[in-house]
Structure 1
Amino acid sequence: MRRKIPSTTALAMFESAASHQSFTKAADELAVTQSAVCRQIAALEDFLGVRLFRRTQRGVYLTEAGLTYSRQVRQRLDEVERDTLNLMTKGGARGALELAVVPTFATKWLMPRLPRFAALHPGITINLSAQTRPFLFSESAFDAAIHPGRSPWAGTSRHLLMNEDLVVVCSPHLIAPDGEIPDEDWRKYTLLQQSTRPYAWRKWFSLQGLQIEGDMTGPRLELFSMHAEAAIQGMGLALIPRLLIEKELTEGKLTVVGGRTHPSDSPYFLILPDERSEDAALIAFRTWLIAQAKDYVDSGDAAMPVQLAGGL
């Protein structure tokens, strides 16, 4: 069946014009005439049966439908460009892995170790994209994911890498190093909230046998790197996995409040789609990553040992 898809030329011109809100600037960017851009966008609108721009004497403006469509088209064109560049770089050989990662774990733990993988496997490129929430592999171009949490992902196998221990940290200017907070004083401090783990503080307080009023109020930040920086700046108390802030603790930028540590319910897993279980590049990365995690745990840097096994 013939696909109902407009020409890529029209889509590329529309994406550029939408980005600049100008046919003239799109023409300059694409090295074509303004009339060529006008014709292609008019043809695209006729194909869709929808107006994408409002034309006025003062310029062109995206309609609501045009704004929504431009975001979707930009994402698809970015994906096509990425796949094209990868194919051109590798000449068709399987040499790149698309990895979805939670950002702070990738920055603080994975990236310092990736040069070791590159030295062992110079023909395999690891591309990293930030993903803070679960997704469907069938609707993405990802080959694997590193993600915390025990929730099952359909059609995948999981390999436990390590547990994470949560500690309460803040600036040493807010609370002196090794300082304690009396139970009745917790409500006096701002609690920095993790938007992807909305009940983190409540669970942590429960482990302490405490019930703190306002345990879910406070600034909501998505990334642990944001939490660390906010705590460094004295904005409040942050509940962060110790493995993500080792450098900040060593440098004295952050201090652990009270020395209390508890394991979270979000260990880190390498997640692989079942249909790519025989991929040689993915097998090489899996083997290497599990060994790196085991070395980290065995070194004592991770607080709790884990059993590294597949299909968990």
Structure 2
Amino acid sequence: MRKKIPSSASLQAFDAAARHGNFARAAEELSLTEGAISRQIARLEALLNCKLFDRVGSRVKLNPVGARYAHHVRETLDRLERDTHYIMGMPEGSKSLDIAVLPTFSSRWLIPRLNGFTSLFPDITLNIAARTDPFILPGSGFDAVIHFEHSAWAGMRMQFLFQEYLMPVCHPALLTDNDVNKQLNELPRIHRRQNPDAWHHYARESGITLDNPAQGVRYDLHEMAIAAVMAGQGVALVPHMYIENELSRGMLVSPWPASESLSKKFCLVKPTETGINEAALENFERWLLAEMNTLARSS
């Protein structure tokens, strides 16, 4: 049975008309006549057997069905355009991997090491996308994910990478007293929004008195918290692996013990079924595990 898929011309005309709320402006954007836009919309509505716009005189406005369809069409066209640019930019005979990664891990650890991967596998193009929250991997367009353990990955193939431990860290200029535990209580605390009880757990585990563990600003990402710490705005609980360089160069200090309970397991998550990029993904996994082994030996 032939699939009911609208033509690309109809979808582009509908998308432009939906964004502009005007057939004339849509026609100008696509270098068509207003009549051509109108005919494409009519063909699309005939295929769908429903109206997408409410017409009031010369004006058009998406109805509820049209608004919902416009959202999905926009996502589809955007993804098709991205995929087209990916293919256009790939050298002949090369392979491509699309990997979803937590933002701070990608910017602070993974991307700075990718020269090593590229030198070993120059024929593999590695596309990195930031994803903060877990999601359903099959059908997402990603070949794999680097993320913490979560129920969303149930049924997927998982390779353990590392255990993330949090440690308090601050700018050295903020430490003006030999009693660092007292100062930890006095310094402004920086929180991650996704882990609002972290300082409470750290105080209980370490035995360091914190009068109000919940007090302080909140940021979404470790990257943001690290930026605030670098600016001397307070003390934050961040993973050691993200601030190795700053600690070794004395740009940041951590005279307090790291937490053992504030930790997460991070994994490379792969679909259950192997795909056309499986060989490239195996090479990436081997390289990633070798880098993790190097990290473990240096810790």
Q: Same fold (TM over 0.5)?
A: yes
Give 4+ residue runs of structure 1 displaced > 6 Å after superposition.
Answer: none
- Please give the per-residue CA displacement for 1:8-51, whole angstroms capped at 9, x wherever unaligned: 22222333344455544443332223333343345445636354
**TM-score with structure 1 setting the length:** 0.78
Tell me, in whole angstroms, the C-alpha distance in 1 between the residues paired with 2:89 and 2:216. Answer: 47
* One-letter identity of the residue aligned with 2:284: F
Work out which of the two has the higher radius of gyration on C-alpha atoms and give 1 or 2. 2
Tell me, in whole angstroms, the C-alpha distance in 2 between the residues paired with 1:149 and 1:110. Answer: 18
Q: Does 1:260 align with 2:261?
A: no
Q: Is contact 1:54–1:63 with CA below 8 Å preserved after alignment?
A: no
Give the 3-state SS of the residue equivalent to 2:11 in structure 1.
helix
Distance of aligned partners of 1:68 and 1:172 in 2 relative to their CA distance in 1, 3 Å threshold: farther
Q: Is contact 2:192–2:218 with CA below 8 Å preserved after alignment?
A: yes
1:208 deviation in Å?
A: 1.6
Which residue in the other structure is 1:279 paired with? 278
Q: Does 1:112 align with 2:103?
A: no
Q: Is contact 1:177–1:255 with CA below 8 Å preserved after alignment?
A: no
1:200 deviation in Å?
A: 2.8
**TM-score with structure 2 setting the length:** 0.80
Which residue in the other structure is 1:121 paired with? 121
Q: Does 1:293 align with 2:277?
A: no
Gaps of 5+ in 1: 304-312
Distance of aligned partners of 1:90 and 1:132 in 2 relative to their CA distance in 1, 3 Å threshold: same
Distance of aligned partners of 1:41 and 1:284 in 2 relative to their CA distance in 1, 3 Å threshold: same
* One-letter identity of the residue aligned with 1:116: G
* One-letter identity of the residue aligned with 2:73: V
Tell me, in whole angstroms, the C-alpha distance in 1 between the residues paired with 2:130 and 2:217. Answer: 22
Tell me, in whole angstroms, the C-alpha distance in 1 between the residues paired with 2:123 and 2:156. Answer: 26
Q: Is contact 2:102–2:130 with CA below 8 Å preserved after alignment?
A: yes
Q: Is contact 1:178–1:255 with CA below 8 Å preserved after alignment?
A: no
Give the 3-state SS of the residue equivalent to 1:49 in structure 2.
coil
Tell me, in whole angstroms, the C-alpha distance in 2 between the residues paired with 1:17 and 1:92. Answer: 37
Distance of aligned partners of 1:120 and 1:235 in 2 relative to their CA distance in 1, 3 Å threshold: same
Tell me, in whole angstroms, the C-alpha distance in 1 between the residues paired with 2:42 and 2:232. Answer: 54
Gaps of 5+ in 2: none
Distance of aligned partners of 1:176 and 1:211 in 2 relative to their CA distance in 1, 3 Å threshold: closer
Which residue in the other structure is 2:158 paired with? 158
Tell me, in whole angstroms, the C-alpha distance in 2 between the residues paired with 1:234 and 1:68. Answer: 46
Distance of aligned partners of 1:221 and 1:231 in 2 relative to their CA distance in 1, 3 Å threshold: same
- Please give the per-residue CA displacement for 1:55-110, whole angstroms capped at 9, x wherever unaligned: 687x6665565554433322222222333344455589671011010011111111
Tell me, in whole angstroms, the C-alpha distance in 2 between the residues paired with 1:211 and 1:25. Answer: 64
Tell me, in whole angstroms, the C-alpha distance in 2 between the residues paired with 1:126 and 1:72. Answer: 27
* One-letter identity of the residue aligned with 2:205: L
Which residue in the other structure is 2:32 paired with? 32
Which residue in the other structure is 1:192 paired with? 190
Alignment of 1:175-254 (within 5 A): 175-176=175-176, 180-182=180-182, 186=185, 190-209=188-207, 215-216=213-214, 218-250=216-248, 253-254=251-252
User: How many residues are matched?
Assistant: 296
* One-letter identity of the residue aligned with 1:292: E
Q: Is contact 2:134–2:152 with CA below 8 Å preserved after alignment?
A: no
Q: Indicate the RMSD between aligned Cα atoms, in angstroms.
A: 3.5
Q: Is contact 2:54–2:63 with CA below 8 Å preserved after alignment?
A: yes
1:124 deviation in Å?
A: 0.9
